[in-house]
Chains A and B, each alone.
Chain A
Amino acid sequence: MPEVTYREAVRDALGKAMRENDDVFLMGEDIAEMGGSMGVTQGLLEEFGPERVRNTPISEMAIVGAGIGAAMAGMRPVVEIMYEDFLTLSLEQIVNQAAKHRYMSGGQVTVPLTIRTQGGAGWSPGAQHAQQLEAWLVHIPGLKVAYPSTPQDVRGILWTAIHDPNPVIVFEHRLLYPVKGEMTEELEPVELGKARVVREGTDVTVIAIGPLVHRALEAAEQAEADGISVEIVDPRTLQPLDEDSLVASVKKTNRVVVAHEAVTRMGFGAEVAAVLQYKAFDYLDAPIERVGAKFAPLAFAPVMEQYVVPNTDDVLAAIKRTVGK
């Protein structure tokens, strides 16, 4: 299988969806000539033209809201919010509008809108350009939320999101864009709500999302040297959540670490822990460990940022705690 970057995989999904269906179009800040602040949409303006690759003003409410209206009127818009920190500006439209129209109308309208955004620490952007806010949106009935970690997954999930009749928010991670991974020649859609076992093991399950999948893989290699067999499961979509796959893994290993880059408190891992203590209580041999950022805004100075954000060593330490090492 050829290796491509995560960035190329996103672009591939967008291009294929636009070639397949004229109703698919893109809106976002600086996505046209510049190709997006992360370079994801480079080349799409040239292929599809300015009607379908639309630079917007800096207007997050209008970007998402116009996407909602276009979607209700039959289009399949894919909007980009440059940084998920700026998602906060469009939350009214996401939470009160996109998530609610189908419900409040008693099923009369649907909102087939895809919102792409990205964030993530590790490059000293400071406190307003690297937050991880996925948990906010998982809390809202009416939104589907995905956080793919590999090129193969992001392409397949984005494809499914664009074809879903409902609003889907796809979180991407800045540090993953240049990361290469194997990707099939043919696009393989990924069903929303299906986890993926990234690595098989027998002693501990690490349930990780986004960049923590990669850090967990490194930690698992190191744990292996200590004789600990680690299984890694990537839920890939947070809403809907593949609870069965998570429970199945825990029943096998009896120990769990939940890992994400967002702050631990009220993070996605809290929900996973709650699900597992209820559905797999009798199978747990150790407290569920949670790995996430320390409860602080992101500092600028690299040493402080690194201190706050969870790394491979944090995952490894959590793995060891679950087995009493």
Chain B
Amino acid sequence: MAKVEKKSTPTEESLRDFLRDMLLIRRFEEKVEERFRAGELPGFLHVAIGQEAIAVGVSHAMEDDDIFASTHRAHGHTLARGTHPNNVMAELYGKIEGCSHGYGGSMHLYDVSHGNYGANAVIGGGLPAVTGAGLAFKLRDEPRVAVAFFGDGATNIGTFHESLNLAQLWKTKTVFVCENNHWAESTPGWQHSPVWDDMSKRALAYDMRSIKVDGQDVEAVYEAAQEALEHARSGEGPVFIDAVTYRMHGHYIGDPQVYRTKEDREEAAAHEPIGRLRERIGLSDDEFDEFDRVAHATVDDALAFAQAGTDPKPEDALKNVYA
């Protein structure tokens, strides 16, 4: 992934990098859907199609030594932080070359070399650890920040509240990024939270600084993340980002979405972030096609790499077991 020079307002070239990354994530996940439906991929997969701007905007604002915890919808965060698409795809195929060496799968992508301390399949499961890592950075006086990605559904679980309270109380170097797509699996926001249309009220309860941002506007996300990271890094305390976004596909690949109206899906599609950025940059068709060609080629290479990957030996299941 392209490295962007840090400035509070992204340059035109940065925006092009954002677009490249968002396109790569989109094409990657489309390919994942295709291979899953073809019966090639084991397990349980979730794509973040429509939500790419948050992963890319936040990731580009992070410093190399910052770390993050992700969720069951982890492909975008992992790719945006720089893990090679080959290693992500290989993980989905359960290969040794995978970023978790076949032990994790789609919902447990790790890559410590790129700050990924684990994607969590328990809603809210990673929030306390990100608080603790932010505490460690504070205790050691390290200029690092721990970032948590999670959805609006996670704001109802105990770990969320205990973590926000503790993080603010101790002013840990933590940024909480709520990818607020208004769905907790099949349950709409208005059915699961009294503050579903303004999650920053959750932060208010803990006296935590919060930023509400249009999660489909990668530029705005980047700027919000910069501000939040700077605040946390300085030791002034954690920040909560309510990034409003749209999940264009189902909760999982294959989800028939019987709970969702046609209008709702159309609304999500209308907020598609890649076309919006393309328009913002004013990219010509030829330029866009070239970006897209590169993204497709990268994904095709990743697929070939993964398909040709090495299967673990069955007894490798007992490695990494210390007790």
Stretch at the interface among B99-107, B246-254, B264-272: B99-107
Name the one of B100, B104, B136 contacting A75, with C-beta atoms under 8 angstroms: B136
A175 on the interface (CB 8 Å rule)?
Answer: no
Residues of A within 8 A of B139 (CB): 25, 51, 70, 75
Residues of B within 8 A of A67 (CB): 132
Residues of B within 8 A of A92 (CB): 122, 125, 159
**A65 & B137 in contact (Cβ 8 Å cutoff):** no
Residue from B110, B131, B146, B323 having most chain A Cβ neighbours under 10 A: B323
**B162 & A106 in contact (Cβ 8 Å cutoff):** no
User: What residue of chain A has the Cβ atom nearest to residue B127's Cβ?
Assistant: A65
Residues of A within 8 A of B136 (CB): 69-70, 73-75
A52-88 interface bits toward B, Cβ cutoff 8 Å, 1 = contact, 0 = none: 0010110101101111111111110100000000000
A223-263 interface bits toward B, Cβ cutoff 8 Å, 1 = contact, 0 = none: 00000000000000001100000000000000000000000
Q: Is the interface of A mostly helix, strand, loop or mixed?
A: mixed
**B162 & A62 in contact (Cβ 8 Å cutoff):** yes
A97 on the interface (CB 8 Å rule)?
Answer: yes
Residues of B within 8 A of A70 (CB): 132-133, 135-136, 139
**How big is chain B's contact interface, by range?**
35 or more
Given A105-B112, A144-B322, 6 new contacts (CB under 8 A): A69-B130, A69-B132, A69-B146, A96-B122, A104-B108, A106-B102
**A74 & B140 in contact (Cβ 8 Å cutoff):** yes
In the bound assembly, the distance between CA atoms of A68 and B135 in angstroms comes to 11
| B window 81-135: CB within 8 A of A | 98, 100-104, 108, 110-112, 117-118, 120, 122, 125-135
Chain B residues within 8 Å of A, Cβ to Cβ: 67, 98, 100-104, 108, 110-112, 117-118, 120, 122, 125-137, 139-140, 146, 158-159, 162-163, 165-166, 169-170, 319-323
Name the one of B103, B131, B140 contacting A66, with C-beta atoms under 8 angstroms: B131
CB contact under 8 A between A65 and B129, given known A57-B166, A166-B322? yes
In the bound assembly, the distance between CA atoms of A51 and B140 in angstroms comes to 11
- 11 A–B contact pairs at CB < 8 A? A54-B170, A57-B166, A62-B165, A66-B163, A68-B132, A70-B133, A72-B133, A97-B122, A102-B322, A104-B108, A108-B112
CB contact under 8 A between A102 and B320, given known A107-B101, A109-B118? yes
Residues of A within 8 A of B323 (CB): 141-145, 166, 239-240
In the bound assembly, the distance between CA atoms of A77 and B127 in angstroms comes to 17
**A105 & B159 in contact (Cβ 8 Å cutoff):** no
How far is the CB of B225 from the nearest CB of chain A, in Å?
20
A101 on the interface (CB 8 Å rule)?
Answer: yes
In the bound assembly, the distance between CA atoms of A96 and B132 in angstroms comes to 16
What number of A residues sit within 8 Å (CB to CB) of B? 43
In the bound assembly, the distance between CA atoms of A165 and B162 in angstroms comes to 26
In the bound assembly, the distance between CA atoms of A96 and B125 in angstroms comes to 8
In the bound assembly, the distance between CA atoms of A67 and B128 in angstroms comes to 8
How far is the CB of B43 from the nearest CB of chain A, in Å?
13
Residues of B within 8 A of A96 (CB): 122, 125
**B166 & A106 in contact (Cβ 8 Å cutoff):** no
Name the one of B110, B134, B137 contacting A105, with C-beta atoms under 8 angstroms: B110
How far is the CB of B19 from the nearest CB of chain A, in Å?
31
Residue from A57, A67, A97, A104 having most chain B Cβ neighbours under 10 A: A104
In the bound assembly, the distance between CA atoms of A206 and B320 in angstroms comes to 33
User: What residue of chain A has the Cβ atom nearest to residue B128's Cβ?
Assistant: A65
**A106 & B101 in contact (Cβ 8 Å cutoff):** yes
How far is the CB of B112 from the nearest CB of chain A, in Å?
5
Q: Which 8 A-B pairs have the closest CB atoms?
A: A65-B128, A69-B132, A106-B101, A69-B129, A66-B132, A62-B162, A73-B136, A105-B110
Residues of B within 8 A of A136 (CB): none
User: What residue of chain B has the Cβ atom nearest to residue A105's Cβ?
Assistant: B110
**B125 & A59 in contact (Cβ 8 Å cutoff):** no
In the bound assembly, the distance between CA atoms of A73 and B140 in angstroms comes to 10
Name the one of B129, B135, B321 contacting A97, with C-beta atoms under 8 angstroms: B129
How far is the CB of B241 from the nearest CB of chain A, in Å?
19
A93 on the interface (CB 8 Å rule)?
Answer: yes
How far is the CB of B103 from the nearest CB of chain A, in Å?
4
User: What residue of chain B has the Cβ atom nearest to residue A52's Cβ?
Assistant: B139
